[in-house]
Structure 1
Amino acid sequence: MKSQHADRSTYSQNVKTSRRTLSVKVLAVILVFVVLAGILVFHFFDLQINQHEVLAAKAASQQYMTEKESSKRGMILDRNGYPLVLSSYVYRIGMTPQDVKSRKSGVTDVDIVNQIASQLELDDEKRDTILEQIRSDRVTGWMGLRKRLIDEKTLSYVQIASEVSETKAMALKDWLTANSVGGVRFDAEERRVYNNEMLASPVLGMTRVIDGKLVGVSGLEATYNALLSGEDGYLYARRNNYSNKGVTPFTTPISYPVESSLNLVSTLDMEVQTILQEELLSIATAAGLKSGVHGLVMEVDTGDLLAMAQVGGYDASDPTAMPIGFTDEEWNALSAEEKTQYLSTNLWNNINITDVYEPGSTFKAVTLAVALEENVAYEGTVFSDNPITVQGKTLSCYSGHGHGNVTLRQSFALSCNPVYVQLGQRIGRSTYYDWIRKFGFYDKSGIDLPAEASGVLHRKPSALDFANLTFGESSSVTAIQMARFYAMIGNGGYLVTPRVGCASTSEGLDVMRPFPVQEGKKLLSKRTCERVRSMMTDVMAEGTAAGTFGAIGLEIGGKTGTSRDSTDDDRRTFSFIALNPIDDPQYVVLVTIRKPETPINASVVSARAASRVAARIQNSREKGQRYNSHDLNVLSRQIEIPETEGMKIRDLAMRLVTINLAPIVPTDEYLLDRPCGAILPAPGTMVGTGSTVWLYPAGDYEVEWVTVPDFRGLNYHECIWLASEHGVVIAPDGIPAGVAISQDIPASALTDQVLTHDDSGAPTESAELDSPNDGKVRKGQVIQVSFGSQSRHSSPDNTGDDGTE
């Protein structure tokens, strides 16, 4: 019985154990299923919720296609419709090697590769490489099987060439199409083409490629980027992943059409821009500078900029190229960071609007206008020009000794600092600064260019700060702010907003849409402006800018300015601002020279440059000078080209400017610290006042042959400009009254005689010209021009038939 009971007990125990084991296994299985289910749920959640957008996008990319169509970037035109900037395409050409073949019989791989190499001007090594890639990726049979077994991948894309011109690319594409050749891909890349190299490049600006599209990053390119870019168009459609791919048949694509870009019409005038750039480069040579010289020309009534330039400039097509004034060795010695720093500080920024400077005595016109408007003085009010002390600091006239008792009118022409301190005291500090705010010197001018700076003036000025500002020191403004103020003086008291963009057009100027002109706010009375302009004429006639060549025969008014930078070795900034013509102003011309390297009176030099710009603009508009007897006497005197005496280019240029000649150094040889190797015309030659003189650094000089223009019918100044344009100079034969009636070397005709020079470079006897350059003369040739009483543009002022009083 006991044994039986024991067996039952053992059996029962085994059953319980078995059940327990089964329960554990079941639980384990259930737990595994729960875990697996949890993992699946987690992954389903991750896929359905967390990665929904990513996976949906991937699925859509497989099922649907999106094609983007970009509009070609619009052009930037000058006011006359000349294209300053336009777009063209260059191409990146590549291939899928295994697909490069022709469906035409008789067109072999060699034919295809030879045509590609010929059109793209590839060398033999590149040609052979392309042929090998095509043949290698297309192998069949045992070699093809072996290639697949060792998993050697075929090339899906190989670039053949980049930056291929549109002409070459289209010629190759046409041949490939005509011969049914596939596997070659043409990717168009838009590029900007700047037609005038350095001209107006800081104004026009630059672009760069962002997400495959050109985007303006500076200048007009940035301000009017939306207008120039247009809007991209898109095509959404179901993708056909079979057959010929593309769009699935019998489906309806959704499209958003491209919005075409527009062309921007600017206020710039390329003729005026060229004039300004040439004259700035000339005075930069005399100042010994390769940067820091800038200027502008603006219409007084509208604020439209006809020209805005600076030295140095940069070629917008290659903005990182070596700038003027450097040799290859000097430029290459700089690090990448140093190069970028120099370019961004001196060239890429438009310093007429981004950089501030102390305006010096040009600011006296501001103080004068406020004084006249507030009726605290008049032209005949007498002031003492003796030194005056403010807060323990003595303020003196620029002359150092003062001019004694002077009238307000005399003080403006002589630029007497103490007089304007006293004027400010009569106006009162609070009232004066209220006017400064009204004139916009604390703010930006509002010009439609990026990165404009505001004036830097004291918020809580002391008595000394106030005194210094009355004659333009201890505070800083931009060139565009000063031009804006003088435009107000010129237009009768309206503060205009400067601008460079004036209209948009889809075609030519006949269908352009002008931008609205912001009406200027009336701040000064017409009478006050007339009185200031009247005193500006004295500066040109008998003041600090007297005797400038460009002003002869014209009614130009202006003001010189000099300021000293105490933080930079006391180096100075010189400027001049002119209104032309002064009786009915049309333009304001501003020229500034910052910290010249030569010891010149640069305010006079800047006045000479500005007056030459004004005169050249006047003559380009077919408005002639009106010479009186004094003018004719000055113009009849010939000037002798000085000896070079081993002088540096910059020192010789400075000397030429002081005797009313215009030095020019070719931009590709703009090395001002080098000795002068050649000067044209040669030393000792007699030339007319205002003539251009060409300087070349020491080294080999290759003789240039130039054509002789026809001077007949032009007045003296017009002859000077035309001679410079052609590379010759004139010398007047007698009094240059009226217009040119004859010249000793006929226009575009071979002269039988040319000047020869002795060892010193002085002219000697004539020698026979033996040259194949028929109809041309050596650059720098002097042409004697005779003038007569005939007048083409206008009759002399208060003169008889001979042009004298």
Structure 2
Amino acid sequence: MTGPNIKLKKRLLWVLAIFTLCTVGLVVRIAWIQIANGQEYQQKAFEQQTSNRTISPKRGTIYDRNMEPLAVSGSVETISCSPQVIKKQTKLDVDKIASDLAEILEMDKEKIKEKLTKSSRYELIKKKVDKEVGLKVRQWKKDNEIDGIYVDEDTKRFYPNGNLAAHVIGFTNIDNDGLDGVEKMMEKYLKGVPGKILSEVDASGVELSMGQEQYIQPQDGNDVVLTIDETIQYFAEKTLEKAIADNNVLNGATAIVMDPRNGEILALASKPDFDLNNPRAAPPGVDKTTWTGTSAKDVQYLQKTVWRNKAVVDTYEPGSTFKPITSAAGLEEGLITADTQVTDATIKVGGWSINCWKPNAHLHETFREGVYNSCNPVFVRLAQKMGIDKFYSYVKAFGFYKKTGIDLPGEASSIIHSNPTEINMCTASFGQRFQITPIQLIQAYGAIANGGELITPHVVKEVLDSSGNVIKRYEPNVVRRVISKQTSETLLDILRGVVDVGTGKNARVPGYKIGGKTGTSETIKNESLIATGKYDRYIASFAAIAPTDNPTLCVLVVLDYPDQFYHGGGMIVAPVVGKLIDEILTYQGVEKEYTEEDKKNLKKEVQVPDVKGKTLEEAIKMLKQNKLEYKIEGSNKDMKAVVEAQTPKSSALMIENSLVILYTYKPENEATVKVPDVKDKTVYEATQAFKSVGLNIRVNGTGTAVSQDKEAGKVVTKGTVVEVMFRNVVSD
């Protein structure tokens, strides 16, 4: 008995031990599941028992500085389905459902049917459909008693001004994620938090008939207010478009308008651009039959062309627009004054000869005059006085070695000397053989304008919550002081002289004090010309500050590759900037202060009186009272003869001393004349040439005539106004 009992007891002990170990293991495992992974399994159970659909939040609005909307979100619908729910409804004809939806949504039937028959709980059918289409789907569902097809709220981005400020605003993808511009940079504020619709379902994913549906409200995004002024942006873009057309610019252009007091960008335009509502559309000149806008090749092309913000991501040689930086350094170091006598005779550096652009040179002049005349040797000698270390310390201080930090994506770094030699310094002193971005240059001009402080340029002003409360304000960021207020004032006075009497005089606007500097850099586009040393591509620019006695504007316009005889910044860009400043300051309500000389030359617009039916004597008297001249058409020139017709018609606005044609007979057709060729004539000579044949002139600019809007020899009606562009022939 003893032997078997002991064996039995041992077996029982082993069984008990194994059972105990299993029990302990199960307890440990249960504890591990409940304590360590409890939250994870609870979430999985919740997901198994519920079905959810996402509700997109309303993306925040982007406003200009005057609260004009630039980017808004409109209400649309998203159509989705639950294949599991549809499968449970045995009476439903899936083929018919797919056919009906395809007709309403204008989609391929087979693609919809594929989604309806998948083994999943949720399938997206179509996003961003109009509210009217969503309403049709709802009504169709109701009429056919169909479950498992959902119509949920959604939003779609819309840009009311099309391509206005395209490179600043940027755009979103179909999921409302910011892809470029402010849309990308301010994503965390604009995006918002998605909401959900939660439904209780069984194990197969079918909604429970007695289950409750829970709606979690989405949190809309915050609004963003920009420093951009919609009106100034419009001025900048229209001015740039005209400059591109007038000068046949081949490689695009950019314009920046900044308030130097705080670094706020009032306008930033880059051409070519694109429609924000259709950013993937085929750019001009592209074969539309092969274009998709979504392939890697197409996207790469868009990034290189219309999506490219030339003001921020392109680098270029600034040319003579850099000379004020060299001037500021020399003035600040006390190496020169405005009235210091200088020479622009040829300088030889490292085997290279640096000459003045003028064949006979200006030779002896004051430093002020050297800046007016943009003489390269003047700036080379000044840089040599400073030495390499000192010169480049100012280049660095003005911000050219670092990105500005503007709140736009893709800002490029400058391409500038890391270990400069003397020849590097000498060519850099007049803006050649290194590259910077346009935004870097206007930041530096801002320091010259505001009394010497380098301020970070920015396009975002503030962020608002749904109640309009400011939750974040972007204050001006002063990087450092680079020059004294005295140096700033001296240089502003010199730059005003550049516009009044120097190479920038085509930018002059009577009544406004404008300072600025021309720039023309040279590039070899055709490699076959490298050996010849000739250039076939130019970048023309003009940088300006206004008004010079109290600067509120810095303006930079750059034209890349103007394809015409005149390619210098002083000839083709200075008048563009002058016109833009005139428009902006007038819009801002800045009154013009005319000099006596300006008042003498100022021509006002007058209204043409109605002289039809009057005698010649009466008509001439009325015209003289309105400071208008006349020309009589007809054989009857008796002062008692009656005026039967007139050109221009009454109420037309004309410049003082313009010509009105008086007819002493009833003409079947108005008298015509050939347009004379006034190229290279002065304003007075061109005016007399037109008046002699009975035509009027609209003068654009000063100097000599370079073009006219109605070509020589064209037959036009007498009294017609011909616009003639005049330019002062200058270098740079």
- Give TM-score, length-normalised by structure 2: 0.70
User: Which of 184, 189, 204 is the aligned partner of 1:222?
Assistant: 184
Q: 2-side partners of 1:290 and 1:473: how far apart?
A: 21
What is the Cα deviation at residue 577 of structure 1?
0.7
User: Which of 163, 186, 206 is the aligned partner of 2:151?
Assistant: 186
Specify whether residues 171 and 758 from structure 1 end up closer, same or farther in structure 2 by C-alpha distance, changes over 3 A only: farther
- Confirm or deny: 8 A CA contact 1:314 1:348 kept in the other structure: yes
Name the structure 2 match of 1:204: 169
User: Which of 80, 87, 90 is the aligned partner of 2:73?
Assistant: 87
Read off the aligned partner of 2:573 and give its amino acid letter: S
Q: 1-side partners of 2:568 and 2:245: how far apart?
A: 12
Determine helix, strand or coil for the equivalent of 2:177. Answer: strand
Instruction: Say whether residues 1:553 and 2:520 are aligned partners.
Output: no
User: Which of 357, 360, 370 is the aligned partner of 1:411?
Assistant: 370
Deviations 1:682-731 (A, max 9, x none): xxxxxx9xxxxxxxxxxxxxxxxxxx9x99xxxxxxxxxxxxxxxxx954
Q: 2-side partners of 1:239 and 1:334: how far apart?
A: 41
Determine helix, strand or coil for the equivalent of 1:575. Answer: strand
Determine helix, strand or coil for the equivalent of 1:413. Answer: helix
User: Which of 222, 227, 230 is the aligned partner of 1:267?
Assistant: 227
Instruction: Say whether residues 1:294 and 2:259 are aligned partners.
Output: no
Q: 2-side partners of 1:552 and 1:590: how far apart?
A: 20
Specify whether residues 191 and 67 from structure 1 end up closer, same or farther in structure 2 by C-alpha distance, changes over 3 A only: closer
With 496-505 and 152-161 compared, the bigger mean Cα shift is at 152-161
Determine helix, strand or coil for the equivalent of 1:477. Answer: coil
Determine helix, strand or coil for the equivalent of 1:473. Answer: coil
Name the structure 1 match of 2:58: 72
Specify whether residues 314 and 160 from structure 1 end up closer, same or farther in structure 2 by C-alpha distance, changes over 3 A only: same
What is the Cα deviation at residue 783 of structure 1?
9.3
User: Which of 373, 385, 388 is the aligned partner of 2:344?
Assistant: 385
- Confirm or deny: 8 A CA contact 1:372 1:378 kept in the other structure: yes
- 1:474-489 equivalence runs, <5 A: 474-489=433-448
Deviations 1:241-260 (A, max 9, x none): 59982698699x9x987543
- 1:361-440 equivalence runs, <5 A: 361-440=320-399
Specify whether residues 493 and 338 from structure 1 end up closer, same or farther in structure 2 by C-alpha distance, changes over 3 A only: same
With 332-341 and 192-201 compared, the bigger mean Cα shift is at 332-341
Q: 2-side partners of 1:55 and 1:268: how far apart?
A: 51
Name the structure 1 match of 2:49: 63
- 1:553-592 equivalence runs, <5 A: 553-566=511-524, 570=535, 571-592=537-558
User: Which of 440, 453, 475 is the aligned partner of 1:494?
Assistant: 453
Specify whether residues 432 and 399 from structure 1 end up closer, same or farther in structure 2 by C-alpha distance, changes over 3 A only: same
Specify whether residues 781 and 557 from structure 1 end up closer, same or farther in structure 2 by C-alpha distance, changes over 3 A only: farther
- Confirm or deny: 8 A CA contact 2:56 2:153 kept in the other structure: no
Determine helix, strand or coil for the equivalent of 1:551. Answer: coil
Q: 2-side partners of 1:560 and 1:476: how far apart?
A: 17
Specify whether residues 474 and 598 from structure 1 end up closer, same or farther in structure 2 by C-alpha distance, changes over 3 A only: same
What is the Cα deviation at residue 87 of structure 1?
1.8
What is the Cα deviation at residue 398 of structure 1?
2.5
Q: Which 5+ residue runs of structure 1 have no aligned equivalent?
A: 1-43, 138-151, 639-687, 689-707, 712-728, 737-742, 745-751, 767-779, 785-805
- 1:590-739 equivalence runs, <5 A: 590-604=556-570, 605-628=572-595, 630-631=597-598, 636=603, 731-734=654-657
Larger radius of gyration: 1
Deviations 1:213-245 (A, max 9, x none): 322122111111000012345688875559982
Instruction: Say whether residues 1:231 and 2:193 are aligned partners.
Output: yes
Determine helix, strand or coil for the equivalent of 1:555. Answer: coil
What is the Cα deviation at residue 505 of structure 1?
1.2
With 75-84 and 329-338 compared, the bigger mean Cα shift is at 329-338
- Confirm or deny: 8 A CA contact 1:286 1:598 kept in the other structure: no
Read off the aligned partner of 1:558 and give its amino acid letter: G
What is the Cα deviation at residue 464 of structure 1?
0.2
- Confirm or deny: 8 A CA contact 2:236 2:580 kept in the other structure: yes
Q: 2-side partners of 1:781 and 1:163: how far apart?
A: 57
Determine helix, strand or coil for the equivalent of 2:557. Answer: strand
Q: 2-side partners of 1:765 and 1:68: how far apart?
A: 73
Name the structure 2 match of 1:521: 480
User: Which of 369, 384, 401 is the aligned partner of 1:442?
Assistant: 401
Determine helix, strand or coil for the equivalent of 1:295. Answer: strand
The CA RMSD over aligned residues, in Å, is 5.0
Determine helix, strand or coil for the equivalent of 2:173. Answer: strand
User: What is the aligned residue count?
Assistant: 597
Name the structure 2 match of 1:659: none
- Confirm or deny: 8 A CA contact 2:128 2:155 kept in the other structure: no
- Confirm or deny: 8 A CA contact 1:593 1:602 kept in the other structure: no
Name the structure 2 match of 1:345: 304
- Confirm or deny: 8 A CA contact 1:370 1:432 kept in the other structure: yes
Q: 1-side partners of 2:334 and 2:197: how far apart?
A: 70
Name the structure 2 match of 1:454: 413
Name the structure 2 match of 1:321: 281
Specify whether residues 431 and 117 from structure 1 end up closer, same or farther in structure 2 by C-alpha distance, changes over 3 A only: closer
Name the structure 1 match of 2:465: 506
Read off the aligned partner of 2:191 and give its amino acid letter: S
Specify whether residues 242 and 114 from structure 1 end up closer, same or farther in structure 2 by C-alpha distance, changes over 3 A only: closer
Q: 2-side partners of 1:230 and 1:335: how far apart?
A: 26
Identity percentage over the alignment? 27
Specify whether residues 510 and 59 from structure 1 end up closer, same or farther in structure 2 by C-alpha distance, changes over 3 A only: closer
- Give TM-score, length-normalised by structure 1: 0.64
Q: 1-side partners of 2:80 and 2:397: how far apart?
A: 61
